Chain A
Amino acid sequence: MKTVGLASFVTMLLACGLLSASAEARRVRTETANAFELKRHELTVSTGIVPGRYSFGYNYISPFDDGSLAGLYESAAYYEREYTSGVWSLGYTYNFTKLLAVYTSISYERGWTDYCRRSDDALAARNVDGYLSAVASFKVNWFNRPMVRLYSYAGIGISFNHYSNDSVGYPGKGRKYHDLMFAGQVTPIGVTVGKSIFGFAELGLGTCFSGIAFGVGYRF
């Protein structure tokens, strides 16, 4: 009886030990699988809908005298086609820690409007408004998993603006102007999916994009 009891007790002890060891091994495997591996550098390429400067309105000057009846009648002989190149960005992120990072980007966006004669579709004038922007942002990665990260960032910068407005009948001959302007971007939420190579999408408002941005990146 004593032997059976002792054997049972030892068996129970062994069983408990094995169970705990098994649970411990499972815990270690899970933690390893969920462990986020910090990589310092990220390069990204992205585009946005809608482009930031487009959302605030390009600075076109009509080639017609909109304040006069003669201008009204003259403009009726032409039609307008407005274009935007969209906004295209190159970005670099340096991750100080898992949580904090600095994100810098260079973006380019250009809008133009063609005024064409209705009689023969000939180009009569063109307005151009382009922006090359550099923005530095403070970024917080507030959710980090091996495959998914969520983040927010806000930043300010500067834009180099080039623009020109043609007179009717002189396409491409309009005087060229340059200006420096403030740039800023606030992105409350962004998500990356992937490890070394990842895709990402963001929701934001600013001079880079207002709406959704998406792109691809590489971490190293």
Chain B
Amino acid sequence: MKRTAIYLTALAIVPMMISSCRVYDSKEYMEVPAYLLAQAAYKNFVNPLLKSAELADFFARYQEIRSDREAALALADTYFPGGWGISELYYEMAAGYYGDIYLEDDGSFLVIPTWGMYYLSCSGVLSCDIYDIGFSVVPEGDRRYSISSVTIPDSYGSGASGAESVISATVSCDDENIVLEECLIELPECTVTSVGGAPVTRPAVYNAGDVFASSSGRLDYECSEESGVEDSFTLGFHDGYVTIERGTSVLKCKAFEKTRTLQYDYVIK
């Protein structure tokens, strides 16, 4: 009886030890570098564009009621829900979770994103962080804004230079959505451009909370010669997923997430 118990224990332990030898296997996961590239570009450049427009939209509407502090704070609550509120709110400056905004003398805004943006690769630079880039946002009326990147003094004195990138966009806001009507994002690694007739649309924070993924629209990606990669594709946004499109080939993948950068298991079969 005792011997049987010992043998059974050994029989249970040995296969457990053998099966635990392989701790990871990525063969079953399909790797799509285009998806990772698009995810990084969306997180580091497209999302800050949309958030900067949202911040500028709040600050523009705030200017009209700024003398009424109570109404101004109520407006701020709709743009910054869930505790991630405005930490500072003055007539010419506001500091929020996604960035700081300043009122310029010509009536435009300067937005400095809070979190440093990152170039997609680290080739040739000590750090991928870009601390010296901001957005000049010009209100064009009817809650429509034109955005262009500007190089600002880098208070950290380190990191990659934003001068290597060129970013311009036109964003409009309505009661429900933030719409990226046009954009051109030129990075050392690739170029991202809007697709005519398919603006990237995302629910506005005052309508649906802090939503990260866009729900419709398309963007064209083309890798640069400098990157050493020849690839071009169209990224399609859909409700709950994205598509990587090359000609007639369409690959469906999970929607981009803010807090977790998907590295594996993102292809929807």
CB <8 Å contact, A83 and B231: no
Q: Are A82 and B22 in contact (CB under 8 A)?
A: yes
Q: Pick out which of these stretches binds chain A: B28-36, B62-70, B135-143, B245-253.
A: B28-36
User: CB-CB < 8 A to A84: which residues of B?
Assistant: 20-21, 23
Please tell me if the beta carbons of B25 and A79 are within 8 angstroms of each other in the complex.
yes
Distance between B223 CB and nearest chain A CB, rounded to angstroms: 6
Q: Which residue of A is nearest B17, CB measured?
A: A86
A 55-82 contacts with B by CB, 8 A: 65, 67-70, 72-73, 75-76, 79-82
Given the known A-B contacts A69-B37, A76-B32, are A54 and B23 also in contact in the complex, defined by CB atoms under 8 Å?
yes
Report the minimum CB–CB distance from A210 to chain B (whole Å).
Answer: 14
Q: Give, as a whole number of angstroms, the nearest-CB distance from B261 to chain A.
A: 13
Q: CA separation between A83 and B33, bound complex, in Å? A: 25
Using CB atoms, name the residue of chain A closest to B128: A67
Q: Number of residues in A with C-beta < 8 Å to the partner? A: 23
- The verdict on B153 contacting chain A, using a C-beta distance below 8 Å, is no
Say how far B2's CB is from chain A's closest CB, in angstroms.
11
Q: How far is the CB of B229 from chain A (nearest CB, A)?
A: 5
A80 contact set on B, CB distance < 8 A:
24-26
Chain A residues whose CB sits within 8 angstroms of the CB of B17 once the complex forms: 47, 86
With A69-B227, A69-B229 already in contact, the answer to whether A82 and B24 are too (CB < 8 A) is yes
Taking a contact as CB atoms under 8 Å apart, the answer to whether B20 and A86 are in contact is yes
- Complex CA gap A79/B27 in Å reads 5
Docked-complex contact B24 and A73, CB < 8 angstroms:
no
The residue in chain A whose Cβ has the minimal distance to the Cβ of B190 is A69
**A85-134 residues at the B interface, CB under 8 angstroms:** 85-86, 116, 118
Identify which of residues 7-49 in chain B touch chain A, using a CB-to-CB cut-off of 8 Å. Answer: 13, 17, 20-27, 29, 31-33, 36-37
Shortest beta-carbon distance, B215 to chain A, in Å? 27
Task: Note all chain A residues with C-beta closer than 8 A to B29.
Answer: 79
Decide yes or no: A72 and B22 within 8 Å by CB, A47-B17, A67-B122, A79-B27 being known contacts: no
Q: Which chain B residue lies CB-closest to A76? A: B31
Say if the beta carbon of A49 comes within 8 Å of chain B. Answer: yes
Residues of B within 8 A of A86 (CB): 17, 20-21
User: How distant is the Cα of A143 from the Cα of B40 in the complex, in angstroms?
Assistant: 57
**Complex: chain A residue closest to B187, CB-CB:** A69
In the complex, which residues of chain A have a beta carbon less than 8 angstroms from the beta carbon of B23?
Answer: 54, 82-84
Q: How far, in Å, is B174 (CB) from chain A's closest CB?
A: 36
CB-defined contacts of B121 to chain A, threshold 8 Å: 67-69, 72
Q: A67-B121, A86-B17 are in contact. Are A72 and B24 (CB under 8 A)?
A: no
- Please tell me if the beta carbons of B24 and A68 are within 8 angstroms of each other in the complex: no
Q: Which B residues lie at the A interface, using CB under 8 A?
A: 13, 17, 20-27, 29, 31-33, 36-37, 120-123, 128, 189-190, 223, 227-229, 231
Q: Please name 5 pairs of A and B residues whose Cβ atoms are closer than 8 Å in the assembled complex, sorted by A.
A: A68-B123, A72-B33, A80-B25, A81-B24, A82-B23
Q: Which 4 A-B pairs have the closest CB atoms?
A: A67-B122, A70-B228, A82-B24, A76-B31
